[in-house]
Amino acid sequence: MQKLPKLTLDLNEKKGTWDLRNDKTDKLIKSFVTKEKATKGGVLEKALGDNGGSVKIHLANGKIQEERTYPGDRDPVKSEG
């Protein structure tokens, strides 16, 4: 099975946006006005496209809130949580 890209959604304090970035390349994938707009209704999954990926979602203070895998059926069997 192909490895999923790893991404992070966190607050960009300078711009006041929530940025989705590729962990390996630090490339900006997409910016969102609010965290809620990024995490509701399949928006993250659409932003990832056909490749899917594993997204670490941070709190505003920088701590990890949760990790999501898109599409869900590619979630590793032995994942915690």
Q: What is the mean pLDDT of the chain?
A: 86
pLDDT tens per residue across span 28-45? 999 999 999 999 988 888
Listed by start position, the domains of the chain span 6-73
pLDDT of res. 73: 59
pLDDT of res. 48: 81
Whether residue 79 has pLDDT greater than 70: no
Q: Please check whether residue 7 is in contact with residue 29, taking contact to mean a CB–CB distance below 8 angstroms.
A: yes
> Which residues in 44-63 are b (16+ Cβ under 10 Å) and which e?
bbebbeeebbbbebbeeeee
